């Protein structure tokens, strides 16, 4: 019997069309959730601008224009990188998932080299689409930048991020063994199990820790170079919020295999308590580091004579210490608060939780910068949030 | 004999529209019960409710004479549950997972329990190998070991024979028989009528969220039991 020649794959009909259909179905299935999250985000952001708009408008004119431009540059780079990472994540799940289209087409016996070429084409299409969306979003905002800078940024950053994220199936998020053994005499296995996996295992956790250190360091360094204190405080808050993004990644990874804990009758309070204990440790570490950095910056300001007159009043020490403590608090509170909010919607939804934590960080952080005496409110917010999500771990449909 | 499981008008509704129940069901001490049903009939939901993994919408569940709920910590530790998708954490080893489970369950001698389970499931050689580098069958065996490490009074197994090789299938069958001999109750979701006929003196059927007893099953010889299931699913006379 004569065998038919193997059909060549077609980029449009075999890959792009099914992908678009798949994504449309996924979009339709989560439309309600997305609309609710989107509407809530817009409401909370509008509220944020309404409440803190005057305060922000009052403080921004004091910032040096060159410094403001550099900060906007950094922010644009950050937005481009993050959006590329989000697109790459989607592309990776489509292209490399065990039950994805590419895997399925491979089982049909289609030629691997051709599939690979067409996967790259599909990746380029996704990347171009993402770039167009980012360009539209940042159009008015990036108008002040040089065209050549904007073009280089839009060509290089997403490509680099995309390549890094989509280059192929890699090790899972938690990539090291936890070195537990039955002979360990730990009193809190829930905590030690997570701690060993968090500290040594997660590449997302490690990347975000490095990313969070950048704004905190640049803020305090710019403070030493006589930049306004508000800029340093906002940088600390940004660092704190970025660090808190670690929590959604780790918790989502953890929830993939919680049946072991659930069948051992571990309740919500114990489970979330273990995470809270870990991030309380992180919060203490980032608080101490940030306070020390601020104090060093203040020491530089007041010990090195500058052209501008330094405020050499007797209460300089009090002022420096209070600002350093505020900076430390801004950097530390988002990660401390994160476990209290992580199960409010769905612990498995990383992006939703990142948005949620960012909004909470923005709200509470700006309020703290405006009125530092509001700090005790954080405790109340934390306590109430924990109370509101109680039982979600034990009652959810997590595996 | 005492009741191990007793449900009264048990109901559970999911946001997707699927409804389970009302279910009135009892299982006696030492019984081994096969649960049949098509995919999506509600077997996993029923098992999650019995093990306290999810909360009921209505009705009551009593396990070993006590009310079962997700908060019934002490009671839940007397139940072992292997879900259908027993995903294990990546890059951990069988030794670590079993040690962790033993410590969570506060076993008096965790090392002995870990050794027993590794030996029983023929995993001693693989004990320090990352789980994501192991076969699907090995992962299933470690899942079974986690569910059984504390020798629970009630064991609920959701499709436990999936991915098991012939040797380990026999190990599991023998364990289930041993449990029955020690008056411990076991509920198994199963899709192989002959295996169920051999292992389970009683069987129930879940269809569209409703439970019915296969009342003729206990009195039938082995092959007739399998034929009863064939008839229920594919029609014809018996």
Question: Are B103 and A189 in contact (CB < 8 Å)?
Answer: yes
Q: What is the dihedral of CA B166, B169, B175, B180, to 10 degrees?
A: -120
B189: confidence class by pLDDT, cuts 50, 70, 90: very high
A312: confidence class by pLDDT, cuts 50, 70, 90: low
Rounded (5°) CA angle A33-A36-A42: 135
What integer pLDDT is reported at residue A94 of this predicted model? 65
Whether the CB of B13 is below 8 Å from some CB of chain A: the reply is no
Q: Does residue A173 register a pLDDT over 60?
A: no
Residues of chain B contacting residue A175, judged by C-beta atoms under 8 Å apart: 90-91
Question: Are B101 and A264 in contact (CB < 8 Å)?
Answer: yes
- How many percent of chain A have pLDDT more than 90? 19
Among A313, A310, A397, A385, smallest CA distance to A348 is for A397
| Poorest-pLDDT segment among A113-117, A340-344, B122-126, B129-133 | A113-117
SS3 per-residue string spanning A79-144: HHHHHHHHHHHHHHHHHHCCCCHHHHHHHCCCCHHHHHHHHHHHHHHHHHHHHHHHHHHHCCCCCC
What integer pLDDT is reported at residue A10 of this predicted model? 61
In this structure, what token pair is assigned to residue A210? 């490095």
How far B197 CA sits from the closest chain A CA (Å)? 28
Contact A352, A306 (CB under 8 A): no
Question: Are B146 and A260 in contact (CB < 8 Å)?
Answer: yes
The residue-averaged pLDDT of A8-22 equals 66
Mean pLDDT of chain A: 77
What integer pLDDT is reported at residue A181 of this predicted model? 72
The residue-averaged pLDDT of A359-364 equals 90
In this structure, what token pair is assigned to residue B112? 């002995």
Same domain, B72 and B157: yes
Question: Are A189 and B104 in contact (CB < 8 Å)?
Answer: yes
What confidence tens digit (pLDDT) does each residue in A68-88 have? 677 777 777 777 777 777 777
For B85, nearest residue in chain A (alpha carbons)? A399
* Parent domain of B233: 1-78+152-238
What integer pLDDT is reported at residue A203 of this predicted model? 75
Among B17, B10, B20, B13, smallest CA distance to B42 is for B20
| Poorest-pLDDT segment among A154-168, A372-386, B206-220 | A154-168
Question: Are B74 and A394 in contact (CB < 8 Å)?
Answer: no
Rounded (5°) CA angle B165-B169-B172: 140
Question: Quick one: CA dihedral A392, A393, A394, A397, positive or negative?
Answer: positive
Where does a domain end: B94, B119, B151?
B151
Cα(first)–Cα(last) distance of chain B, in Å? Answer: 32
Number of alpha carbons in the 13 Å side-chain half-sphere of residue A239: 29
What confidence tens digit (pLDDT) does each residue in B13-65 have? 887 788 897 999 999 999 999 999 988 888 989 999 999 888 889 999 999 99
Whether the CB of A136 is below 8 Å from some CB of chain B: the reply is no
Question: Are B96 and A180 in contact (CB < 8 Å)?
Answer: yes
**pTM score above 0.90:** no
Cα separation, A158 vs A239, in Å, equals 22
A145: confidence class by pLDDT, cuts 50, 70, 90: low
Length of chain B (residues):
238
Whether the CB of B53 is below 8 Å from some CB of chain A: the reply is yes
Among B211, B209, B206, smallest CA distance to B18 is for B209
Same domain, B63 and B164: yes
Beta-carbon contacts of A212 under 8 Å, excluding residues fewer than 6 positions away, are A239, A240, A242, A243, A286
For testing the chain A interface, which of B47, B70, B133, B158 should be mutated: the one with the most A CBs within 10 Å? B70
What integer pLDDT is reported at residue B67 of this predicted model? 93
Same domain, B134 and B228: no
The residue-averaged pLDDT of B89-107 equals 88
Same domain, B237 and B158: yes
How far B86 CA sits from the closest chain A CA (Å)? 7
Q: Does residue B82 register a pLDDT over 60?
A: yes
In this structure, what token pair is assigned to residue B8? 């009264």
Contact A192, A274 (CB under 8 A): no
What integer pLDDT is reported at residue A227 of this predicted model? 78
Cα separation, A245 vs B52, in Å, equals 31
Nearest to A262 among B14, B53, B89 (CB): B53
Residues of chain A contacting residue B104, judged by C-beta atoms under 8 Å apart: 189-190, 260-261, 264, 266
Cα separation, A380 vs A136, in Å, equals 40
Whether the CB of A29 is below 8 Å from some CB of chain B: the reply is no
- DSSP letter assigned to residue A398: -
**Structural domains counted in chain B:** 2
Nearest to B92 among A178, A183, A391 (CB): A178
Whether the CB of B148 is below 8 Å from some CB of chain A: the reply is no
Question: Are A182 and B111 in contact (CB < 8 Å)?
Answer: yes
How far B91 CA sits from the closest chain A CA (Å)? 5
Where does a domain end: B132, B151, B170?
B151
What confidence tens digit (pLDDT) does each residue in A213-233 have? 888 888 888 888 777 888 889
Q: Does residue A337 register a pLDDT over 90?
A: yes
The domain that holds B7 is classified in CATH as 3.40.50.300
A100: confidence class by pLDDT, cuts 50, 70, 90: low
- Phi, then psi, of B4 in degrees rounded to 5: -85, -40
Question: Are B93 and A177 in contact (CB < 8 Å)?
Answer: yes
Q: Does residue A176 register a pLDDT over 60?
A: no
Same domain, B73 and B161: yes
What integer pLDDT is reported at residue A186 of this predicted model? 67
For testing the chain A interface, which of B71, B78, B92, B112 should be mutated: the one with the most A CBs within 10 Å? B92
What integer pLDDT is reported at residue A267 of this predicted model? 85
How far B223 CA sits from the closest chain A CA (Å)? 35
The residue-averaged pLDDT of A302-319 equals 65
What integer pLDDT is reported at residue A26 of this predicted model? 74
| Poorest-pLDDT segment among A109-113, A160-164, B219-223 | A109-113
Tokens 């004990």 locate to B127
Question: Are B85 and A397 in contact (CB < 8 Å)?
Answer: no
Cα separation, B163 vs B136, in Å, equals 6
What integer pLDDT is reported at residue A200 of this predicted model? 65
Distances (CA, A) of A20 to A13, A94, A101, A156, B92: 10, 11, 11, 26, 36
What confidence tens digit (pLDDT) does each residue in B155-186 have? 999 999 988 999 999 999 999 999 999 999 99
Q: Does residue B229 register a pLDDT over 80?
A: yes
Same domain, B67 and B137: no
Distances (CA, A) of A295 to A44, A63, A285: 34, 21, 16
Whether the CB of B147 is below 8 Å from some CB of chain A: the reply is yes
Residues of chain B contacting residue A257, judged by C-beta atoms under 8 Å apart: 87-89
Task: Tell me: cis bond preceding B22? Omega within 30 of 0 counts.
Answer: yes
Among A residues 264-303, those touching chain B with beta carbons less than 8 Å apart: 264-267
With 0-12 / 13-18 / 19 or more C-beta atoms within 10 angstroms meaning exposed / middle / buried, residue B71 is: middle
Question: Are A257 and B70 in contact (CB < 8 Å)?
Answer: no
What ipTM was assigned to the predicted interfaces of this complex?
0.85
Among B47, B56, B44, B64, smallest CA distance to B12 is for B56
The residue-averaged pLDDT of B61-88 equals 89
Tokens 């969220």 locate to B209
For B98, nearest residue in chain A (alpha carbons)? A182
In this structure, what token pair is assigned to residue A176? 């090291």
What integer pLDDT is reported at residue A130 of this predicted model? 72
For B56, nearest residue in chain A (alpha carbons)? A395
Same domain, B176 and B71: yes
Q: Are strands B19-28 and B154-158 parallel, antiparallel or unpaired?
A: unpaired
Whether the CB of A175 is below 8 Å from some CB of chain B: the reply is yes
The residue-averaged pLDDT of A309-333 equals 82
What confidence tens digit (pLDDT) does each residue in A365-382 have? 988 988 889 889 999 999
Same domain, B176 and B230: yes
Same domain, B143 and B158: no
Question: Are A263 and B81 in contact (CB < 8 Å)?
Answer: yes
With 0-12 / 13-18 / 19 or more C-beta atoms within 10 angstroms meaning exposed / middle / buried, residue B87 is: middle
Same domain, B123 and B183: no
Same domain, B71 and B168: yes
Rounded (5°) CA angle B104-B63-B14: 85
How far A348 CA sits from the closest chain B CA (Å)? 15
What integer pLDDT is reported at residue B172 of this predicted model? 94
Residues of chain A contacting residue B110, judged by C-beta atoms under 8 Å apart: 182
Nearest to B100 among A260, A262, A267 (CB): A260
For testing the chain A interface, which of B56, B91, B129 should be mutated: the one with the most A CBs within 10 Å? B91
E strands, B79-191, in order: 79-82, 154-158, 185-189
Where does a domain end: B130, B151, B172?
B151
Number of alpha carbons in the 13 Å side-chain half-sphere of residue B158: 22
Question: Are A259 and B71 in contact (CB < 8 Å)?
Answer: no
Cα separation, A363 vs A47, in Å, equals 9
Same domain, B34 and B71: yes
User: Number of A:B CB contacts under 8 A?
Assistant: 104
Residues of chain B contacting residue A261, judged by C-beta atoms under 8 Å apart: 104
What integer pLDDT is reported at residue A327 of this predicted model? 94
């Amino acid at each position: 019997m004569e065998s038919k020649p193997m059909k060549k794959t077609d980029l449009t009909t075999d890959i792009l069309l099914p992908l678009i259909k798949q994504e449309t179905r996924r979009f339709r299935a989560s439309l309600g959730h997305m609309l609710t999250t989107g509407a809530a985000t817009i409401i909370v952001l509008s509220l944020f601008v309404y409440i803190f708009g005057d305060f922000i408008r009052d403080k921004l004119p004091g910032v040096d224009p060159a410094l403001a431009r550099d900060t906007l540059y950094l922010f644009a780079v950050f937005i481009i990188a993050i959006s590329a990472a989000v697109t790459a994540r989607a592309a990776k799940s489509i292209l490399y998932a065990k039950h994805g289209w590419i895997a399925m087409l491979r089982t049909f016996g289609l030629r691997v080299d051709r599939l690979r070429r067409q996967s790259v084409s599909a990746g380029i299409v996704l990347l171009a689409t993402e770039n167009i969306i980012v360009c539209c979003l940042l159009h008015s905002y990036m108008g002040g930048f040089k065209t050549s800078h904007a073009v280089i940024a839009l060509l290089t950053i997403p490509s680099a991020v995309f390549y890094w994220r989509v280059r192929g199936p890699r090790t899972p998020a938690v990539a090291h063994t936890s070195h537990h053994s039955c002979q360990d005499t730990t009193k809190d296995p829930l905590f030690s199990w997570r701690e060993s996996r968090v500290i040594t295992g997660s590449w997302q956790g490690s990347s975000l820790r490095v990313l969070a250190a950048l704004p905190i360091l640049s803020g305090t360094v710019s403070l030493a170079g006589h930049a306004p204190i508000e800029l340093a405080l906002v940088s600390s808050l940004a660092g704190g919020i970025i660090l808190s993004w670690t929590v959604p990644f780790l918790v989502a990874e953890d929830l993939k295999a919680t049946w072991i804990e659930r069948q051992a009758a571990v309740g919500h309070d114990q489970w979330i308590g273990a995470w809270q204990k870990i991030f309380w440790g992180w919060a203490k570490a980032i608080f101490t580091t940030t306070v020390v950095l601020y104090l060093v910056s203040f020491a530089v300001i007041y010990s090195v004579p500058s052209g501008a007159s330094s405020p050499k009043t007797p209460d300089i020490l009090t002022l420096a210490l209070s600002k350093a403590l505020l900076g430390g608090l801004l950097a530390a509170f988002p990660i401390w608060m994160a476990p209290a909010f992580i199960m409010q919607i769905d612990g498995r939804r990383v992006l939703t939780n990142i948005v949620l934590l960012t909004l909470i960080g923005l709200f509470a952080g700006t309020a703290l910068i405006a009125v530092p005496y509001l700090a005790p409110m954080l405790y109340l917010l934390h306590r109430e949030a924990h109370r509101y999500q109680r039982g979600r771990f034990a009652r959810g449909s997590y595996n | 004999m005492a009741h191990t499981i007793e449900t009264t008008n048990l109901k559970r509704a999911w946001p997707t529209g699927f409804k389970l129940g009302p279910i009135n069901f009892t299982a006696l001490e030492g019984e081994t019960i096969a649960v049949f049903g098509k995919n999506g009939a509600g077997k996993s939901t029923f098992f999650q409710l019995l093990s306290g993994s999810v909360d009921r919408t209505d009705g009551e569940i009593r396990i070993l004479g006590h009310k079962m709920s997700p908060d019934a910590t002490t009671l839940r530790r007397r139940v072992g549950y292997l879900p259908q998708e027993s995903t294990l954490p990546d890059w951990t080893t069988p030794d670590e997972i079993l040690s962790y489970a033993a410590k969570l369950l506060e076993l008096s001698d965790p090392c002995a329990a870990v050794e027993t389970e590794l030996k029983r499931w023929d995993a001693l050689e693989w004990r320090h190998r990352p789980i994501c580098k192991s076969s699907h069958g090995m992962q299933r065996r470690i899942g079974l070991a986690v569910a059984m490490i504390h020798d629970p009074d009630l064991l609920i197994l959701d499709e436990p024979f999936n991915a098991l090789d012939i040797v380990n299938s026999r190990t599991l069958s023998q364990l289930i028989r041993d449990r029955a001999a020690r008056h411990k109750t076991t509920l198994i979701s199963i899709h192989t009528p002959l295996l169920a006929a051999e292992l389970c003196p009683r069987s129930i059927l879940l269809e569209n969220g409703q439970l019915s007893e296969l009342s003729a099953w206990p009195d039938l010889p082995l092959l007739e039991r399998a034929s009863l299931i064939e008839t229920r699913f594919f029609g014809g006379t018996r």
